[in-house]
Amino acid sequence: MTLDINEIMKRLPHRYPFLLVDRIEELVKGERVVGVKNVTINEPFFQGHFPGHPVMPGVLIIEAMAQVGGVFAIISDEIGSDMVTYFTGIDKARFRKPVRPGDVLRMHLELLNCKRGLYCFRGKAYVDDKLVAEADLKATFAPKENG
């Protein structure tokens, strides 16, 4: 299964400037997902991180992986738009190489397990087949609160 940006936006609530996934290249329900973020100099965070030496913040690489995992969970388990995603843990995060404008960030997430609605993923992010970041991510879904 593949998804373009329009299909992603039907599933994720994120919007500019916080939507950090452009395409899902592969999705195998209950197993794994591969998503892509095209990193451009137009990203608002590059204005301050860092002037004259733009580097994508590591926390946003982690967020991009989490959004790819969110698409995976929403599709795999048919989670409705009445639910919201909550991060519950980030473990073993490592940043190997900087991500710069012009890079294509390819994120591979493997579902480790899902028990009682808690999703556990192992995520790895690559640029040109070189590992740039990795982390174990945990998230859950809860009903949106009104108000």
In angstroms, how far is CA 23 from the centroid of its own chain?
Answer: 11
Residues 75-125 pLDDT 10s: 999 999 899 999 999 999 999 999 999 999 999 999 999 999 999 999 999
Q: Give backbone dihedrals phi and psi of 74, rounded to 5 degrees, phi first.
A: -60, -45
Residues 6+ apart with CB under 8 A from 128: 103, 104
Give the E-state strand segments of 39-129 in sequence order. Answer: 83-95, 104-115, 118-127
Residue 70 pLDDT more than 80?
Answer: yes
Task: Give the span between the Cα atoms of 123 and 143, in whole angstroms.
Answer: 25
SS3 sequence of 1-17: CCECHHHHHHHCCCCCC
| Residue that the structure tokens 């493997």 belong to | 110
Residue 13 pLDDT more than 70?
Answer: yes
Task: Give the span between the Cα atoms of 61 and 84, in whole angstroms.
Answer: 20
**All domains of the chain, ordered by start, with CATH?**
5-143 (3.10.129.10)
Average pLDDT, the chain: 96
Residue 11 pLDDT more than 70?
Answer: yes
Per-residue CA distances from 144 to 51, 82, 113 (Å): 38, 6, 24
Residues 6+ apart with CB under 8 A from 8: 19, 21, 22, 23, 24, 71
Active-site residue set:
49
Q: What is the DSSP letter of 44?
A: G
Q: Are 120 and 136 in contact (CB under 8 A)?
A: yes
Q: pLDDT tier at 145 (50, 70, 90 boundaries)?
A: confident
Residue 146 pLDDT more than 80?
Answer: no
